[in-house]
Amino acid sequence: MQLLLNAIASAAILAPAAIGFTLIFTLFRYTNFAVGALMTTGAFAAWGMNELGLPIWMGGVFAVVFGAGLLLASDRIVFEPLRGRSGGTLLLVSIALSVIIDNVIRFAFGTQIRAFDLPLRPPLTFAGLRFTPETLWVIGISILATLAVGALLAFTRLGRALRAVADNASLASIRGLPVPRIEAAGILLAGALFGLSGTLAGLDLAIEPNLSLALAIPVIAAAIVGGLGSPLGAALGAVIIGLAEELTVAFISAPYKGAVGFVVIALVLLIRPQGLLGRPVERK
Amino acid sequence: MDAYLVAILTTAAVYVILALALNIQFGLTGLMNFGVVGFYGVGAYTSGIMTETLGQPILLGMLAAIVVGGLAGGLVSLLSIRLSGDFLAIVTLGFAETMRLAFNNEDWLTRGPRGFLIMTRPVIDGLGRGATAWFILGVFVLAAIIVFVVLNRLAGSPFGRVLRAIREDDLVPATLGKNVLAYRLQAFVLGSAAMALAGSLYAHYVQTITPDNFTTQVAVLVWMSLIVGGAGNMKGAVVGALVVTAIYEGTRFLAPLMEFLTPTQVSALRFIIIGTLLIVVVRYRPEGLLPERIAPRSRPDPVPAAG
Amino acid sequence: MKLSRRLFISSAAVTLAAPAYLRAGLAQSAPIVIGSMTPLTGGGGPYGPEKSDAHRAVVAQVNAQGGVMGREVQLISEDSETNPEAAVRAARKLIDADKVSAILGTWASSVSLGIMPLCQEANVLQVFSGSSDYLPDGDTKGLIFNLQPLNKAWAVALADLAVQRGFTEVAFAGPKNDFAASMGESFAASLEKLGGSIVGEPFYYNPGQASYRAEAEHLIRMNPPAIFVAGYVTDFVPVYRELIRGGFTGQIITLSFAVGPAFKEAVGDAANGILHGSPVPPIGKDSYETYLRLVGIEPSGQVQNSFGCMAYDEMNLCLLGMEAAKSTDSFAVADAIRKIANGPGERVTTFAEGKAMIEAGTAMNYDGASSSVDFQENGMLKSRDFALYEVKGGEDEIILTTTSDATQ
Over residues A142-194, the pLDDT tens digits come to 999 999 999 999 999 999 999 899 888 888 888 888 999 999 999 999 999 99
Question: Residues C135, C200: one domain?
Answer: no
Question: Over 60: is that where the pLDDT of C324 sits?
Answer: yes
Highest mean pLDDT (candidates B122-126, B274-278, C92-96): C92-96
Question: Residues C90, C203: one domain?
Answer: no
> Cα(A87)–Cα(B306) distance, rounded to whole angstroms?
11
Question: Residues C11, C86: one domain?
Answer: yes
- Residue C118 belongs to some domain of the structure: yes
> Cα(C244)–Cα(A122) distance, rounded to whole angstroms?
5
* Cβ-based contacts of A114 with chain C (< 8 Å): 262, 266
Q: Are C52 and B262 inside 8 Å of each other by CB?
A: yes
Q: Is the minimum CB–CB distance between A176 and chain B shorter than 8 Å?
A: no
Question: Over 80: is that where the pLDDT of B177 sits?
Answer: no
> Cα(A22)–Cα(B251) distance, rounded to whole angstroms?
36
* Cβ-based contacts of A97 with chain B (< 8 Å): 275, 279
Q: Is the minimum CB–CB distance between C272 and chain A shorter than 8 Å?
A: no
Q: Closest chain B residue to C118 measured between Cα atoms?
A: B206
- Residue A204 belongs to some domain of the structure: yes
Question: Residues C349, C268: one domain?
Answer: no
Structural domains in chain A (count)? 1
- Residue A97 belongs to some domain of the structure: yes
CA-based nearest residue to C256, from C276, C275, C283, C281: C276
List all residues 6 or more positions away from B69 whose beta carbon is below 8 Å from its beta carbon: B39, B42, B43, B46, B192, B193, B194, B195, B196, B197, B199
pLDDT of residue C405: 75
Least confident stretch, A40-54, B122-136, C210-224, C250-264: B122-136
Least confident stretch, B104-118, B218-232, C25-39, C305-319: C25-39
Q: Are A31 and B101 inside 8 Å of each other by CB?
A: no
Q: Are C96 and B1 inside 8 Å of each other by CB?
A: yes
Over residues C181-240, the pLDDT tens digits come to 888 888 999 999 999 999 988 999 988 888 899 999 999 999 999 999 999 899 999 999
DSSP character at residue C207 = S
CATH number of the domain within which C215 lies: 3.40.50.2300
Q: Are B98 and A84 inside 8 Å of each other by CB?
A: no
- Window A:246-265, CB contacts with C under 8 Å: 246, 248-250, 254-258
Minimal C-alpha gap between A282 and chain C (Å): 31
Of A81, A110, A255, Cβ closest to residue B283: A81
CA-based nearest residue to C367, from C322, C326, C309: C309
- Residue A98 belongs to some domain of the structure: yes
- Residue A161 belongs to some domain of the structure: yes
- Residue C9 belongs to some domain of the structure: yes
Question: Residues C77, C92: one domain?
Answer: yes
- Window A:131-170, CB contacts with C under 8 Å: 132, 134-135
Q: Note whether A222 and A234 are within 8 A (CB).
A: yes
CA A270 to chain centre: 24
Q: Are B113 and C82 inside 8 Å of each other by CB?
A: no
CA quadruple B91, B97, B98, B101: dihedral, nearest 10? -170
Residue type present at position B157: S
pLDDT of residue C404: 77
- Residue C36 belongs to some domain of the structure: yes
Q: Is the minimum CB–CB distance between A249 and chain B shorter than 8 Å?
A: no
State the CB neighbour count (10 A cutoff) for residue C284: 9
Highest mean pLDDT (candidates A61-70, A238-247, B162-171, B280-289): A61-70
Least confident stretch, B23-32, C19-28, C53-62, C346-355: C19-28
Selected residue of C47, C83, C213, C242 to mutate for chain A interface (largest A Cβ count, 10 A): C213
The range of the structural domain enclosing residue A95 comes to 2-115+129-210
Q: Are C218 and A254 inside 8 Å of each other by CB?
A: yes
- Residue A195 belongs to some domain of the structure: yes
Q: Note whether C73 and C351 are within 8 A (CB).
A: no
Q: Note whether C196 and C188 are within 8 A (CB).
A: no
Which chains touch C (3+ CB pairs under 8 A)? A, B
Q: Is the minimum CB–CB distance between A74 and chain B shorter than 8 Å?
A: no
The range of the structural domain enclosing residue C391 comes to 151-280+383-405
CA-based nearest residue to A263, from A224, A216, A210, A235: A224
* Average pLDDT score over chain B: 89
- Residue C303 belongs to some domain of the structure: no
Question: Residues C143, C158: one domain?
Answer: no
- Residue C85 belongs to some domain of the structure: yes
Q: Are B246 and C15 inside 8 Å of each other by CB?
A: yes
List all residues 6 or more positions away from A135 whose beta carbon is below 8 Å from its beta carbon: A5, A9, A123, C245
Q: Are A9 and C266 inside 8 Å of each other by CB?
A: no
- Residue C288 belongs to some domain of the structure: no
DSSP character at residue C131 = -
Q: Is the minimum CB–CB distance between A208 and chain C shorter than 8 Å?
A: yes
Q: Closest chain C residue to A245 measured between Cα atoms?
A: C214
- Residue C161 belongs to some domain of the structure: yes
Question: Residues C208, C343: one domain?
Answer: no
Over residues C353-405, the pLDDT tens digits come to 999 999 999 999 999 999 889 999 999 998 888 888 999 999 888 888 888 77
ipTM: 0.91
Q: Is the minimum CB–CB distance between C167 and chain A shorter than 8 Å?
A: no
Of C204, C210, C237, Cβ closest to residue A218: C210
Q: Note whether A207 and A31 are within 8 A (CB).
A: no
Of C77, C82, C92, Cβ closest to residue B7: C92
Of B114, B206, B263, Cβ closest to residue C88: B206
Omega within 30 of 0 (cis) for the link into A123: no
Structural domains in chain C (count)? 2
Q: Are C246 and A130 inside 8 Å of each other by CB?
A: yes
Q: Give the mean pLDDT of A199-214.
A: 92
pLDDT of residue C294: 95
Distances from the Cα of B174 to the Cα of B180, B181, B184, C2, angstroms:
6, 9, 12, 38
Q: Are B89 and A261 inside 8 Å of each other by CB?
A: no
* Every domain of chain B and the residues it spans: 2-217
pLDDT of residue B106: 92
Residue C27's pLDDT band, with cuts at 50, 70 and 90, is: very low
DSSP character at residue A242 = H
Q: At what angle do helices B216-229 and B263-284 cross, to 10 degrees?
A: 40
Alpha helices in chain A (DSSP H): 2-28, 35-51, 56-74, 87-109, 133-155, 157-167, 169-174, 179-204, 212-226, 231-247, 257-271
Question: Over 50: is that where the pLDDT of C15 sits?
Answer: no
Question: Residues C127, C271: one domain?
Answer: no
Over residues A104-150, the pLDDT tens digits come to 999 999 988 999 998 898 999 888 889 899 899 999 999 999 999 99
Of A93, A107, A265, Cβ closest to residue B282: A93
CA B120 to chain centre: 23
Question: Residues C255, C390: one domain?
Answer: yes
Q: Are B213 and C82 inside 8 Å of each other by CB?
A: no
Q: Closest chain A residue to B76 measured between Cα atoms?
A: A266
List all residues 6 or more positions away from C303 whose beta carbon is below 8 Å from its beta carbon: C256, C257, C259, C260, C278, C281, C283, C389, C396
> Cα(B214)–Cα(B197) distance, rounded to whole angstroms?
14
Q: Is the minimum CB–CB distance between C269 and chain A shorter than 8 Å?
A: yes
Question: Residues C214, C361: one domain?
Answer: no
- Residue A232 belongs to some domain of the structure: no
Where b means 16+ CB within 10 Å and e means fewer, A179-206 reads beebbebbbbbbbbbbbbbbbbbbbbbb
pLDDT of residue B168: 84
Residue B114's pLDDT band, with cuts at 50, 70 and 90, is: confident
Minimal C-alpha gap between A216 and chain C (Å): 9
> Cα(A130)–Cα(C97) distance, rounded to whole angstroms?
58
Question: Residues C77, C187: one domain?
Answer: no
Q: Is the minimum CB–CB distance between A112 and chain B shorter than 8 Å?
A: no
Residue type present at position A50: N
Residue B293's pLDDT band, with cuts at 50, 70 and 90, is: confident
Residue type present at position B204: H
Question: Over 50: is that where the pLDDT of C13 sits?
Answer: no
Selected residue of A170, A262, A268 to mutate for chain B interface (largest B Cβ count, 10 A): A262
